[in-house]
Amino acid sequence: MTTQVSIKVSKLDSRHTGNGWFTHRVSFEGPLQGRVNSLCNAREWLWLTFGPSREVGFIGLIDPNQRPLWAWETNYNYFRIYLSGQALTQFLLIKEQFG
């Protein structure tokens, strides 16, 4: 069984969840096991590199002035990471290690 995953980076606009906090969304596409592994590995790297974050739907609920560099989403079988600023730049440099 293959677990090969493709990584798609999309610029956010007003139609997208996370717009206003983040500039880009990274989607992991492929078999379920591969998407889970890729998301978990990327999330662990982001957590260690940029500090803690939370599900994108919770951003701004506790502190409306909160401006995290990253968040994630797993609702509705999505496997996505939301990024902005330095987190986006550094993630793009190493994204192949998560695919």
Evaluate whether residue 1 is within a structural domain. Answer: no
* Tens digits of residue pLDDT in 35-83: 999 999 999 999 999 999 999 989 988 888 888 999 999 988 889 999 9
Evaluate whether residue 55 is within a structural domain. Answer: yes
Q: How many distinct structural domains can be found in the chain?
A: 1
The rounded mean pLDDT for the chain is 92
Evaluate whether residue 45 is within a structural domain. Answer: yes
Model pLDDT, residue 36? 93
* Tens digits of residue pLDDT in 69-81: 999 999 888 899 9
The H-assigned helical ranges of 1-99 are: 32-50, 85-94
CA 41/CA 26 separation, integer angstroms: 13
Per DSSP, the residues of 59-99 read TTTS-TT---SEEEE-GGG--EEEE-HHHHHHHHHHGGGG-
By residue range, what is the domain housing residue 13? 6-98
